[in-house]
Chain A
Amino acid sequence: METRARHFKANAAAALANPVLQANLKTSKSKFVDKRAIAIQELDDFEGTREAAKNIRDRVLNNLDLWLEKFEETATARGATVLWAKDSAEICRHVVDIGRRHNVKKAAKSKSMLSEEASLNRALEAAGIQPVETDLGEYILQINDNEAPSHIIAPVVHKSLDEVADLFHATHKTPRKTEISALTREAREVLRPHFLSADMGISGGNFLVAETGSVALVTNEGNGRMVTTLPRVHVVITGIEKVIPTLEDLALLMRLLPRSATGQSISNYVSVLTGVKQPEESDGPEHLYFILVDNGRADVVGSEFHDMLRCIRCGACMNHCPVYQTIGGHAYGWVYPGPMGAILTPLYTGLENAIDLPHASTLCNQCGVVCPVKIPLPELLRKLREKQVDGNLRPLFERLALKAWAWVAGYPMLYGMATWFGVRYLKWLADGKSSIPILGAAPEWSVGRNFPAPEGKTFREMYAKKKGKQ
């Protein structure tokens, strides 16, 4: 997917000015947050479970090359083919090649964020293979002219019931429905024939289990089960960082993933899939492929952003983020929104292409507090900001202003004089009121809020006065 992250400011402004989006964001805002808060209470030792999850992820990442070799060995032993993809183009090439090899006309897809990274649907269409998204949310986006998802768990969180009703009515040429259950039924009826006729199933992978060479898939709708049970060919597309050691580790991570994502104690379906259909079996794929994807991940290993690779894609950080709650996911401009996206997008698509994303955060640390694998998200955002400054990527005016400030701050006398003038200038600007509506030198600070006016004296002056009195 081509990144639009460099237009973050414009995208965010448009999101704020969109009344439909604002209403939809308000509807969804507290649902995930409240449900999660209740669900984590079921765990007697939530903090201990988080710590254990962090350790499981770190254990693999600290020897990622060896664990990948282990997974490749166990998966291959069960009849799967393991392929590797450096980038988006190679993901598409692999899937198209597999499709051609097995004479695939139609591919039914369960949710895969990697396929969004690669814009896989476009490549499949170009190769004459019909891609069908089967996750309800992803399906809605596909029939809406391949719109991008705005949330990694709830792709159409930005859409209202009315918008979906209009879309189904227009696409399916059926009477317009107004009940969510009726729309869901309609999607089921439209998609069922696709499941049955697809030659290839494409899925992501929530975890790769090194012990057994399995992929673990977590879904609620059952589409993940469909695309991995009915078609002749199953292709798993997943990042190289998704390996975990054992089935016991999966059990532990499954206590955190659904609770953090949707506030469920467990997702409806957790499927652990290993190898291909056996000769006596009546269902299951005859061919199983794993495409292990780098696309920027390998270079993060062992770097100062290494912790980010622990991410299990639950979406809790965005659900709890005041910035995400206000602008939604599209403004972030690439596949991953919210705090995790503000880190992954610059890391995977280039720091210079996402200059505003590390700043799209108040550093309030809600994300850090809820992250089930204890990723220090605000700290990583701050490191990205530092890298921008080190790399001279910030705007010239900002760089000069900070240089000037640093120089002045180096001389206490000069600093005292500057602030003496500064507070008096601001008081004059306030013109007797308690706040300043438009700040001349930095107008962005006073867009949408008033800048509080100082009372006319600096801290030093007031301190000296108080000391004199004593």
Chain B
Amino acid sequence: MSSREDILGRVRARLKRNEANAVIGRADINAALTARAHGPRPAVPTEKSALAGRFREKSTAQSSTLDSVATITDAPAAIARYLTELKLPLHAVVSPSLARQNWQGAGIKAAARGAQDTDLVGITDCFCAIAETGTLMLCSAPDRPATVSLLPETHIALVPASRIVPGMEDAWALARAELGTLPRAVNFISGPSRTGDIEQTIVLGAHGPYRVHLVMIEDL
């Protein structure tokens, strides 16, 4: 007997599985997967500017820094200012989905590809952002490699204010509506990588970025 059959066989025996209760069980599975019920959720404002305010507050609490620009065409210049201010290189790997922005015009030497170990700055967009916890949702795709938000020491993300949703449930609803099936990797990112493993003291920059800088786009 295969291990699969052995394990499932014992679970079935313990649950006193028979044909009648299997029908009821499968109906319950279908009901759960169709209803996709929400549990209790903390109150998050739904009005647009209040949502952005909440996202701002929570993402800052996660140690991200925040800037905002009027339109996406203003983003490269704002990012160049940020990099210059922190004395970071004006070289960046950018998500290919952002290849068409005018990086050169802002003085940023941009390579649109997946990130390599030597890349110090990574610039991405995001699928949406979550106000409840100040979290980014990134979905992998051929033009959105997951490495850009992971390998470089500095991760900069463009966050359209119009793409801020109240909670993770809303983010999933948006993904289902716009993407259909789930992409290979959905990454929820809340601030720079960190560890508290040594004496429960939080240190920023474990294996991922040391800093996460968000550029909110007010009107995309």
Contact = CB atoms under 8 A, between A and B. Distances in A.
B208 A272 contact: no
B214 to A, nearest CB: 14
A277 B140 CA distance: 10
A412 to B, nearest CB: 44
A283 interface: yes
A284 B142 CA distance: 11
Interface string A152-164: 0011110111001
B207 A271 contact: no
A273 B185 CA distance: 5
A226 B188 contact: no
Contacts of A393: none
A43 B167 CA distance: 13
Interface string B48-63: 0000000000100110
Contacts of A180: 198-199, 201, 203
Interface string B94-124: 0000000000000000000110010000000
Binding site of B, secondary structure by majority: helix, strand, loop or mixed? Answer: loop
Given A86-B7, A254-B168, A140 B37 contact: no
A63 B28 contact: yes
Interface in B185-200: 185-200
Interface stretch (B13-21, B67-75, B78-86): B13-21
Contacts of B194: 220-221, 268
B203 A188 contact: no
Contacts of A28: 199-200
Given A31-B200, A164-B198, A271-B186, A302 B193 contact: no
A280 B142 contact: yes
Interface string B34-56: 00111110110000000000000
B147 A283 contact: yes
B184 A275 contact: yes
Nearest to B16: A302
Contact of A220 (B15, B38, B206, B209): B206
B150 A226 contact: yes
Given A28-B199, A248-B37, A268-B192, A282 B142 contact: yes
Nearest to B175: A247
Interface string B114-155: 100100000000000000010100001110011100100000
A302 B14 contact: yes
A188 B29 contact: no
A273 B207 contact: no
Contacts of B199: 24, 27-28, 160-161, 180
B142 to A, nearest CB: 4
Interface in A228-268: 228-230, 240, 245-252, 254-255, 262, 265-268
Contacts of A45: 40, 42
Most chain A beta-carbon neighbours within 10 Å: one of B10, B185, B207: B207
B178 interface: no
A269 interface: yes
Contacts of A53: 39
Contacts of A250: 168
Interface of B: 2-4, 6-8, 10-12, 14-17, 22, 25-26, 28-29, 32-33, 36-40, 42-43, 58, 61-62, 113-114, 117, 133, 135, 140-142, 145-147, 150, 167-169, 172, 181-201, 203, 205-209
Given A154-B197, A247-B172, A275-B184, 18 more contacts: A49-B40, A63-B25, A66-B25, A86-B7, A154-B196, A181-B203, A191-B207, A214-B182, A225-B146, A240-B11, A251-B169, A251-B172, A265-B58, A270-B187, A273-B185, A274-B186, A283-B147, A301-B15
16 contacts: A24-B199, A65-B11, A67-B29, A86-B3, A181-B203, A184-B198, A212-B182, A221-B194, A248-B172, A265-B61, A268-B191, A271-B188, A274-B184, A274-B185, A277-B184, A282-B114
